[in-house]
Amino acid sequence: MAAFAERNAADLWSYAIQFSIFSHSKAETLDVMICADLRCGIEAYSLLRDRVSSIGFSDDELIEIDDIAAEARAYNASMRPKPFKVRLIDGDKIIVLSEPG
């Protein structure tokens, strides 16, 4: 939860990812990695990767984690930002600006 409070807290997000890995739920790990990637990019995963490499994760485990991270990044890259509308009100005039899409 602390990772949500700090916008770019890559270190906190890296521990959130690690905790999710220990839950043995790929879906949970994917969700946490998606959030971490949105909040601070690849930095959180890089910190996690360095840490788990040094504590003895096997090559197969590292490959699985790498695959989940790639899936999270691909998911985020595929999401289009939602279109927006801006309404400017000046007295009795309303101007609506919309993002194309």
**Domain ranges (residues) in the chain:** 2-78
Instruction: Give CA 43 to chain center in angstroms.
Output: 10
Token pair 């990767």: residue:
49
- Give the up-direction half-sphere exposure of residue 8: CA atoms within 13 A in the CB hemisphere: 3
Element (DSSP H or E) covering residue 11: helix 10-22
In this model, does residue 4 exceed pLDDT 90? no
pTM of the full structure: 0.73
Is the pLDDT at 1 greater than 90? The verdict is no
Mean pLDDT of 73-92: 81
Position 33 scores a pLDDT of: 96
Q: Please state, in angstroms and rounded to a whole number, the distance separating the CA atoms of residues 73 and 40.
A: 12
Compute the distance between CA of residue 90 and CA of residue 23 in angstroms, rounded to an integer: 54
What is the tens place of the pLDDT at every residue in 22-76?
A: 999 999 999 999 999 998 889 999 999 999 988 889 999 999 999 999 999 999 9
Given the DSSP bridges, would you call strands 93-98 and 85-90 parallel, antiparallel or unpaired? antiparallel
In which band, very low, low, confident or very high, does the pLDDT at 2 lie, cut at 50, 70 and 90? Answer: low
